[in-house]
């Protein structure tokens, strides 16, 4: 797909981060866009921004929890009706959250919620829109995995649900290469594996998972921080809460790659028909380290040693 002018694109998780930037940049290039998000306030901000920047394109917004199949198919029907089309060209399965860190000690509902958004969101949306992509003259599906889809670690911190889902997304995307080559050769697929990108995933995860944390929850978080070697032994629970907030802000503000840069990389790669899109120098480095030394990839010192620390 050499350009996106007059194409119809669907973007999940369009309210913030990479999703918002994908919507903005697709619209600037003349693509008509349907976006969804489960957090309506975030999506309204994106809608207002893009409507002002690209007033001539067709832009629609849809509230949808991608982990719910009924909502996804309702979203699909709304997109086709509001864009007056039977086909779409681009599907960006971008929505995702964190949570479900430990399989041993974590909450099962949180684990399954993260897995449902990050994996079933990709699956349900692909099911819903597949025939409409195949029926188009040219189509492309772009699935967002993660570096944690090939390296299930974050410096020794367990995040089993997220990694399991992102491995599933990567495997599914790679399997579609042969499926499309045989059964829909005009359709392409890409799997996106971002490194540390400046997004609001930590903040949004808390909103989506819902519920106020109890003092007991913060005690467990403090225990985990100590296990990770963080010097918080003497922190009060109020200080732990503040530390969590600061960590979320730092994740967004101190990232080596911005959401805008990530979207630029993704869209350029789609035009160049790349099926494997590593986003960020950190993603490229970790990919190389894991491929060259898979046996030691989960040693606690692996990341630091590879960085020369």
HEC profile for the chain?
CCCCCCCEEEEECCCCHHHHHHHHHHHHCCCEEEEEECCHHHHHHHHHHHHHHCCCCCEEEEECCCCCHHHHHHHHHHHHHHCCCCCCCEEEECCCCCCCCCCCCCCHHHHHHHHHHHHHHHHHHHHHHHHHHHCCCCEEEEEECCHHHCCCCCCCCCCHHHHHHHHHHHHHHHHHHHHHHHHCCCEEEEEEEECCEECCHHHHHHHHHCCCCCHHHHHHHHHHHHHCCCCCCCCCHHHHHHHHHHHHHHHHHCCCEEHHHHHHHHHHHHHCCCCEEEECHHHHHHHHHHHHCHHHCCCCCHHHHHCCC
* Residues 27 and 42 both lie in one domain: yes
For the cut 70, the answer to whether the pLDDT of residue 58 exceeds it is: yes
Classify residue 204: in a domain, yes or no.
no
Give me the domain span that covers residue 144: 8-199+257-306
* Residues 147 and 235 both lie in one domain: no
Classify residue 276: in a domain, yes or no.
yes
Higher pLDDT among residues 260 and 159, named by residue: 260
pLDDT tier for residue 309 given thresholds of 50, 70 and 90: low
Residue 109: which CATH number?
3.40.50.720
* Residues 89 and 144 both lie in one domain: yes
Sole residue written with tokens 């949004």: 204
* Residues 108 and 185 both lie in one domain: yes
Average pLDDT score over residue span 108-134: 97
Average pLDDT score over residue span 203-209: 61
Classify residue 1: in a domain, yes or no.
no
Classify residue 268: in a domain, yes or no.
yes
Tokens of 128: 């819903």
Q: Which of 41-55, 215-229, 270-284 has the lowest mean pLDDT?
A: 215-229
Domains identified in the chain, total number? 2
* Residues 93 and 193 both lie in one domain: yes
Higher pLDDT among residues 232 and 37, named by residue: 37
Classify residue 3: in a domain, yes or no.
no
Average pLDDT score over residue span 48-59: 98
For the cut 60, the answer to whether the pLDDT of residue 164 exceeds it is: yes
pLDDT in tens, 74-118: 999 999 999 999 999 999 999 999 888 889 988 899 999 999 999
* Residues 224 and 126 both lie in one domain: no
Tokens of 14: 């369009």
* Residues 264 and 239 both lie in one domain: no
* Residues 232 and 126 both lie in one domain: no
Distance CA 96, CA 204 (A): 9
Classify residue 205: in a domain, yes or no.
no
């Amino acid at each position: 797909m050499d350009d996106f002018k007059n194409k119809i694109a669907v973007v999940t998780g369009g309210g913030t981060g990479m999703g918002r930037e994908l919507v903005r940049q697709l619209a600037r290039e003349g693509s008509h866009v349907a976006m969804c998000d489960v957090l309506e306030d975030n999506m309204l901000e994106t809608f207002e921004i893009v409507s002002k920047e690209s007033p001539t394109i067709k832009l629609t917004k849809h509230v949808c929890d991608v982990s719910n199949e009924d909502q996804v198919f309702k979203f699909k029907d709304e997109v086709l009706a509001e864009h007056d089309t039977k086909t779409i060209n681009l599907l960006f399965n971008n929505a995702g959250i964190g949570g479900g860190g430990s399989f041993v000690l974590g909450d099962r509902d949180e684990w399954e919620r993260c897995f449902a958004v990050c994996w079933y969101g990709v699956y349900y949306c692909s099911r819903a829109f597949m025939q409409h992509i195949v029926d188009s003259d040219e189509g492309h599906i772009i699935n967002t995995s993660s570096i944690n889809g090939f390296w299930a670690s974050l410096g020794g911190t367990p995040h089993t649900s997220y990694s399991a889902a992102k491995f599933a997304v990567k495997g599914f995307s790679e399997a579609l290469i042969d499926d499309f080559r045989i059964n829909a050769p005009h359709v392409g697929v890409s799997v996106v594996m971002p490194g540390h990108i400046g997004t609001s995933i930590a903040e949004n995860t808390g909103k989506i998972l819902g519920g106020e944390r109890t003092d007991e929850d913060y005690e467990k978080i403090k225990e985990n921080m100590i296990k990770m070697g963080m010097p918080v032994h003497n922190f009060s629970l109020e200080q732990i809460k503040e530390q969590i907030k600061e960590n979320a802000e730092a994740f967004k503000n101190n990232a080596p790659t911005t959401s805008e840069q990530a979207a630029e990389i993704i869209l350029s790669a789609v035009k160049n028909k790349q099926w494997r899109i590593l986003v960020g120098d950190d993603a490229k480095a970790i990919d190389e380290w894991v491929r060259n030394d898979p046996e030691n990839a989960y040693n606690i010192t692996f990341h630091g040693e590879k960085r020369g620390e």
